[in-house]
Structure 1
């Protein structure tokens, strides 16, 4: 919705909207902010950062329902993406001529519309792809029993949704959602990686009562990184979380953990800097999990497991590659334990499980 308004030059980042101190009457409904927050004047970038329902509603109203509906369709909502999976749903987007007066405002923050997870991740990927919507696919290619390539799937452009300039401007605002100390997505931060993302909390419709439930919700966080050269997009959705009811609290930390595992387990050029925070007031980091031996055991025997304990993640991966060992990694920082232990004979497979931790 913000991307659409930017593209149509209806708003700019610094434009300010009065968010009615948390109560905004539209037709026969009163719109509130999540967690009963009360906002006054907010700039567009702050409407995103604080996830203001009322600010979003006012931007959509300024744009008008016809243009708003047009961009809902352009981003792929209301139609199947064509992904190579059976049973895909098109979601539910009512034709604009059947919208009631409150719909423009409500749809702006996720009510009165039903979308699928694959539609959401495809739409946010369009922002990462400089405004171009792509067709998602799961299988890259199909080979026969002799490993000969039978069919190859290649990236397919669906349509251009917004300009590269607008996509970049929106990405900058989404980065603030995560990087700002008061951003709703701050729990999705990944050390030394710029993340662009957005929280989401949607009330589920209670069909028995005919209203949206205040207890049953879906929380989400979707985003991509690195923000300046996107390579990974992730959507986390939690259905009816029992403890934390908000996307920034429940789903954002899951996004962070998945992102960290991707960076640790796959070879990428996304994060070249070691994962630790320097603090000049702290003493140097040492591992208390291991006992210092008088002398490190060194062996040229290629049939025994090398010692990874004490190495950084990058050092361990380099050593494992040199020794032709498959490394199974857990955590980040410095290696604190491994199995099989160092200096024991290899088993049938040259595999070592190594646990890394940040020692503060």
Structure 2
């Protein structure tokens, strides 16, 4: 036998060699991991030979408009258990239950049904809980229980504005709400030791008032959900946005998808008769109808199309001759439908688009819906009269308060916003959040006429008389909408949406309130169950926000109306004295494209630059400071 043959029989095959090499490498890797684990456990952080641990970085806080903390970074702890070290499991469970605020049976199930000897008893425990566990362990109790330090997020106000604020995951990155939408700003970047502060337009006190009223409404009506919003129409700032049911972001695992939903931003629904104020405004502004145009309501709207199809829309009553004012006061379906016949579909569609329907508002809420407004090419013969009364169109609550701003601001639409400004970690840089530009969409006379009709809705003959507030004028519209039955595809006879919108004070609104009750039980008419909570919210917020009371005389008219408004600010070739002008009166200046107008603060003009009498040329900047 040759040497070559001997070597071939005594050497292992190539596959065996590879296996030996692989096994050796695996053994070395396992040894390295064990050594590393032992060294890290024995050595304190500052003497760790494997390098420094990653430094702690601060996630920026979220605050309300007054600086009240709504979300902030903190040190938390996961409470753990190593079962082999536990002496008496029942005693341990009994002692831990009050400390972790967890029922004994829940702890017992968590431990018994764990597939591992290592169990997480409570994640993201706050400092008080961690301290209680530490003290018990120092006394020699709770053997086997450990504390895993983590960096976390706490929400001091718990459920307050929870859907707006959102929450973070275990890795401290945003998963919902403002935490998600502004994750890059809140998280540190560019080597900064901390993230930026997000200042919301939300007022925590207003939010609390709205949530209390919404929760009460939710309970009393056994509803599926309730939304209640408050917005300053002059600036578009959302002062409060309640959505019930809600959740506590400190305990996200105890919540469900329904309670975490930011309904005012992401849920689209048919608004019902509240929508008539926008439909009528679009029709009047186009010139298709006038304030004194008369329609006849005999209890239904009927029309036969060119194809011979008969369209019938029922009304809640037989109102006889009605004008635009009567259509709003009585919420007359037939009158609204006949009014819609006066305008072509394309023009009507554009009028609704001008209000912002069919598009996102850009308020700052993630996942915002654009709603649903089909292109005219996909409309049927029934679409125009049906849309006029708030069906065959889907909106969000944010879109509704945005559209209401145009009625409140004498025709100028102001996009809503939830975020006010972003402040750098060092506090030196402040960047305002821009949600969109103000734009005129209606003549001032149209908006004023619609408001005057809405004032009469609170009278004894209107559907919104239950919203009436003594010594305060409200412009109100109520609504009731049928929901689609998913099983049949037709409108349900049992599921409704009741709603009410209010602008106050009616003469010069500084507050928009909008309430939606989803699937109330028993009573479902908006005038009956949605108007009273609006009254309650108005009473509370008027006092808190300092809105002056004192009802101005209501306007009685048989047709068109002309309301004397405060003079709007205007700048000609020279700068006028604008001292004492309100932000509302300054709105036309903001829309000018030839000069730049910067408005700082709220209230009335106290200082201006340039001073009165100074020549003004295209391209100049005018600064107005309000107090």
TM-score by length of 1: 0.71
In structure 1, the residue matched to 2:315 is: 33
Residue 355 (structure 2) aligned to one of 34, 54, 75: 75
Secondary structure in structure 1 of the residue aligned to 2:299: helix
2:287 aligned with 1:9, yes or no?
A: yes
Tell whether the 8 Å contact from 1:221 to 1:237 is kept in structure 2 after alignment.
yes
Tell whether the 8 Å contact from 1:79 to 1:90 is kept in structure 2 after alignment.
yes
Distance of aligned partners of 1:242 and 1:25 in 2 relative to their CA distance in 1, 3 Å threshold:
farther
Residue 463 (structure 2) aligned to one of 175, 178, 184: 184
Tell whether the 8 Å contact from 1:134 to 1:155 is kept in structure 2 after alignment.
no
Distance of aligned partners of 1:25 and 1:207 in 2 relative to their CA distance in 1, 3 Å threshold:
farther
In structure 2, the residue matched to 1:241 is: 520
**Residues 113-124 of structure 1 aligned to structure 2 (within 5 Å):** 113-124=393-404
Deviation at 1:269, TM superposition (A): 3.9
In structure 2, the residue matched to 1:141 is: 421
2:441 aligned with 1:161, yes or no?
A: yes
Bigger RCO of structures 1 and 2 (CA < 8 A, at least 6 apart):
2
Distance of aligned partners of 1:115 and 1:155 in 2 relative to their CA distance in 1, 3 Å threshold:
closer
After superposing the two structures, state which structure 1 stretch, 69-78 or 151-160, moved more: 151-160
Q: What CA RMSD, in Å, does the superposition of the two structures yield over aligned residues?
A: 1.8
**Residues 273-352 of structure 1 aligned to structure 2 (within 5 Å):** none
**Residues 223-262 of structure 1 aligned to structure 2 (within 5 Å):** 223-262=502-541
Distance of aligned partners of 1:117 and 1:150 in 2 relative to their CA distance in 1, 3 Å threshold:
same
What residue ranges of structure 2 are gaps of 5+ in the alignment?
1-278, 552-627
In structure 1, the residue matched to 2:453 is: 173
Distance of aligned partners of 1:137 and 1:52 in 2 relative to their CA distance in 1, 3 Å threshold:
same
1: CA distance, partners of 2:341 / 2:486: 28
In structure 2, the residue matched to 1:332 is: none
In structure 2, the residue matched to 1:317 is: none
In structure 2, the residue matched to 1:61 is: 341
After superposing the two structures, state which structure 1 stretch, 199-208 or 135-144, moved more: 135-144
Residue 201 (structure 1) aligned to one of 480, 492, 508: 480
2:297 aligned with 1:19, yes or no?
A: yes
Secondary structure in structure 1 of the residue aligned to 2:521: coil
Secondary structure in structure 2 of the residue aligned to 1:62: coil
Secondary structure in structure 1 of the residue aligned to 2:431: strand
Provide, for residues 237-279 of structure 1, a one-character-per-residue CA deviation record: whole Å limited to 9, x for no partner.
000111321111111111111111112333x142269xxxxxx
Secondary structure in structure 1 of the residue aligned to 2:463: coil
2: CA distance, partners of 1:153 / 1:191: 37
In structure 2, the residue matched to 1:334 is: none
In structure 2, the residue matched to 1:95 is: 375
Deviation at 1:20, TM superposition (A): 2.6
Tell whether the 8 Å contact from 2:300 to 2:312 is kept in structure 1 after alignment.
no
2: CA distance, partners of 1:238 / 1:105: 25
What residue ranges of structure 1 are gaps of 5+ in the alignment?
274-360
2: CA distance, partners of 1:164 / 1:148: 41
Secondary structure in structure 2 of the residue aligned to 1:69: helix
Distance of aligned partners of 1:174 and 1:149 in 2 relative to their CA distance in 1, 3 Å threshold:
farther
Tell whether the 8 Å contact from 2:363 to 2:419 is kept in structure 1 after alignment.
no
After superposing the two structures, state which structure 1 stretch, 143-152 or 78-87, moved more: 143-152
Deviation at 1:14, TM superposition (A): 2.2
Residue 264 (structure 1) aligned to one of 518, 532, 543: 543
Deviation at 1:23, TM superposition (A): 5.5
2: CA distance, partners of 1:6 / 1:165: 10
Bigger Rg, which one: 2
Deviation at 1:63, TM superposition (A): 1.6
Provide, for residues 208-238 of structure 1, a one-character-per-residue CA deviation record: whole Å limited to 9, x for no partner.
1111112111111012100111100011000
TM-score by length of 2: 0.41
Instruction: Specify which structure has the higher proportion of helix.
Output: 2
Distance of aligned partners of 1:208 and 1:8 in 2 relative to their CA distance in 1, 3 Å threshold:
same
2:407 aligned with 1:127, yes or no?
A: yes
Distance of aligned partners of 1:17 and 1:272 in 2 relative to their CA distance in 1, 3 Å threshold:
closer
- The total of aligned residue pairs comes to 269
2: CA distance, partners of 1:206 / 1:122: 29
2: CA distance, partners of 1:221 / 1:147: 41
Tell whether the 8 Å contact from 1:132 to 1:157 is kept in structure 2 after alignment.
no
In structure 2, the residue matched to 1:50 is: 330
Runs of 4+ in structure 1 off by over 2 angstroms are 20-30, 142-150, 153-159
Deviation at 1:29, TM superposition (A): 3.8
2: CA distance, partners of 1:186 / 1:15: 25
Distance of aligned partners of 1:245 and 1:269 in 2 relative to their CA distance in 1, 3 Å threshold:
closer
Secondary structure in structure 1 of the residue aligned to 2:334: helix
Residue 214 (structure 1) aligned to one of 484, 493, 497: 493
